[in-house]
Structure 1
């Protein structure tokens, strides 16, 4: 008999963890819906920031902020990789009914995440001239991106702390408060962005300052929720942090390697666009902002199924784990189809809203017409990777993400650009995602069968 369950019964704790009972589709929809609400709100105000910059009618400003966003995508992707082990380890401990262990893991995870994220921001600032130069930035575009990043990157450690706390809330099944914490970022940004960009005339630097203030709000709200409603943080201890570093980095390292595949691919795509001038870079920047708003539900879905999978693995509910994966795939089909139709219908008004010059408008409208084909298969990889990271197979996630970002993208995008310009590069990205998406899903079901045969839960 499982020891944690015996201890739980002995202590009189008969309340099951939230995700091991009830409809799996209900859990997927609730967790994804609340996650999407917070994420999409952030992405909308992020899109609004670029929209405000575009209203200044300076393509170099739009391109500069776009390049800065590509670099920040690296740091956020690393933060997400660091966040994954916190959700995986804490949800498993809660699923096995070990609250003290969950509290210790949450605390150690936050400490380790802040340290690594702060070091990452220092390294990126040191390498900034080389990074921006490699992406093909012109002189003025380079300076705009450089100034923006020197304002925003130093607070990356604070952002990491807030993200860690938000994921602790999700691991505990408190999707609603995690959403509220994320919405604090949107609330601060929507108020301060126009004030700093237009009111104080700070332009792109005003948007960067807003990012810092929004991160302060995010960290404060998340911390209050974790402490007041779940008590899942304790006083940090160096010996605990050192001891917990091994299981933490066992998941974090491959998860980081997995996540940075996307920004590496994004940087490569931006360098291809740079060959066609600032208008093409501006189009890439608009696509980079529109995509998370439109397909934010898939980002939320990938984050949502992790804690649900983790708790059911901790409780050894393998049939439910397979059903969770099936429910996630069903959501992917319906969601992508709906968003694709909306983007197709709004493709012209969207470019008019951004005052897009001719080449920029053509590229953005082309993306709206074919985005569904691209993102359906990308969504398959997202769902599968979330399963791999939370079920003890993070190297598989690394393989599929890097496979899609290299073999599945670079040659296709390069050949597409040579044959059809920027539009051909976009089609190349979609073509390269097909095989990796299908293979990733098949492998995800195989991992659950393997765990069931082993019938072990390595904590």
Structure 2
């Protein structure tokens, strides 16, 4: 069977090229999403009512947890489908894709049923009250019921990546971002719907995204089988084993951000303002780094399924090489542009000093975050998803708080940023070490807790009857 027919696109060819193409195309879609999110806030801010922008901020806190669940399900779908394709088992690939899609839709329907009746309580936990809480609730009553569409589109895009279709996985995100960007000003300003208009634009963007993603997956690869209850029930365990650790790992990120923000607040509003600018700059400038885990995962999965551990090892190495090259180039660009970037945000005093610190040497620390992402991709696709949870939580707690406090005590606000970077470097080294151990013995637990399977090749599902 030809490569185009097997779908195991990554089991042959230059791995550095595969890593580069998958990462760059994934980052374009991711960057488009971040750009539209930023436009949302800009348009809402242009209304001149601070409470609307605050309501959108509180709503985004609630939406984050729904997104985290969908991200976890998409990681599971991509890992399982890619591994089946590497084994040249199209039946399992289609069944895994269908089961993941059904689970994503089911979760996306149940979640709003649980959250919406308790919206006042949930927004209260986030700190919203009064009219702002009412505005945020109105926004969420429009968006949350479409969580199933967001989950289905994420799973389908992950399936497209599992087939090695880098461009196909990019197009739905670009279409959704385009729809949102066009409809936002129309619904917010022209029709006068304000915050509700922004929510409606997001709903229509999700509809366009899932429609294109499903169309591409079905037309190009017949990627889904007809869902059967017995298959969904049988695949639920395998999906949950990867999705749950991925969800828990994703939730760790805002915890680390909150810790750093709290420490930075000790040094005044200028320090917090600088951190806010840096946190908004990172997703745009280093979108390739953020996309790396999802982009490189299918390459691990296909080669692991094919038993090509030599190519799994090479994928890990090439991922780190590509990461280093990208981070050095972008950090150099930020350094050259540090003056106009600081001027863009009208930064002076401590704010400008902190921005210069980041736009100088500390931007290079994004390499350590990327190394953790590469390692997490190896954990998720080689049968150890719980390691990604442990690494993420350790990095954003033990690798953040003590270092931010210690270095902050010496160098103030600048020390908080330096401490965060040092902690990241230490836990990146741990993640890389553990990733290499997993690749060396994928069926064996590197921490010697237990054995995963009797031979050197993981079989996630055996005796799958009725397929």
Report the TM-score range of the alignment, normalised by the length of the smaller protein. Answer: 0.7 to 0.9
Cα distance in 2 for residues equivalent to 1:274 and 1:144: 28
Aligned match for 1:88, one of 79, 88, 109? 79
Segment of structure 1 superposing worse, 232-241 or 126-135: 126-135
How far apart are 1:26 and its partner, in Å?
A: 1.1
Contact persistence 2:61–2:126 (CA under 8 A)? no
Give the aligned partner of residue 235 of structure 1. Answer: 226
1:3 paired residue number: none
Q: 56-65 or 337-346, which moves further after superposition?
A: 56-65
Residue 305 (structure 1) shift: 1.2
- Displacement, 1:347? 5.0
Whole-Å separation in 1 of the counterparts to 2:297 and 2:322:
15
Alignment of 1:154-173 (within 5 A): 154-173=145-164
Question: Cα–Cα, structure 1 residues 213 and 276, in superposed 2: closer, same or farther, change >3 Å?
Answer: farther
Show the counterpart of 1:377.
Answer: 368
SS of alignment partner, residue 458 of structure 2 = coil
Q: Does 1:312 align with 2:303?
A: yes
Flag the 1:187–1:242 CA change in 2: closer, same or farther, 3 A: same
Matching of residue 457 in structure 1 with residue 458 in structure 2: yes
In 1, Cα distance between the equivalents of 2:220 and 2:368? 38
Structure 2 residue ranges without an equivalent (≥5) = 445-454, 461-467
Q: 1:257·1:398 contact (CA, 8 Å) conserved in 2?
A: yes
Equivalences, count: 450
Higher relative contact order (CA 8 A, sep 6+): 1
Structure 2 CA distance for aligned equivalents of residues 352 and 128 of structure 1:
40
Aligned-residue CA RMSD (Å): 3.4
Partner of 1:327: 318
Tell me, yes or no, if the aligned pair for 2:108 and 2:151 is still in contact at 8 Å. Answer: yes
* SS in structure 2 of the partner of residue 451 of structure 1: coil
Gaps in structure 1 of 5+ consecutive residues: 1-7
- In structure 2, relative to structure 1, the CA distance for the partners of 1:90 and 1:78 (3 Å cut) is same
Give the stretch that moved more between structures: 69-78 or 96-105: 69-78
C-alpha distance in structure 1 between counterparts of 2:171 and 2:7, whole Å: 25
Superimposed CA distance per residue, residues 3-59 of structure 1 (whole angstroms, 9 cap, x where no aligned partner) = xxxxx79xx999672111111111111111221121112222222323334445666
SS at match of 1:448: helix
Q: In structure 2, do the counterparts of structure 1 residues 149 and 281 end up closer, same or farther at CA, with 3 Å as the change threshold?
A: farther
Say if 1:181 and 1:218, in contact at 8 Å, map to a contact too: yes
Residue among 33, 48, 63 paired with 1:72: 63
TM-score by length of 1: 0.85
TM-score, normalised with respect to structure 2: 0.84
Shift of 1:359: 8.5
Give the CA deviation at 1:451. 2.5
Report the CA distance between 1:394 and its aligned residue.
0.7
The answer to whether the 8 A contact 1:59-1:278 is kept is no
Which residue of 382, 394, 397 corresponds with 1:391?
382
1:338 to 325, 329, 333: 329
Check the 8 A contact 2:109/2:148 in 1, yes or no.
Answer: yes
Taking the TM superposition and a 5 Å limit, the aligned residue runs for 1:269-308 are: 269=260, 286-308=277-299
In structure 1, the partner of 2:8 is 17
Contact 1:51 1:354 in 2 (8 A): no
Contact 2:123 2:129 in 1 (8 A): no
Give the match's secondary structure for 1:260: helix
Cα 1:313–1:138 change in 2 (3 A) is same
CA distance in 1, matches of 2:186, 2:362: 33
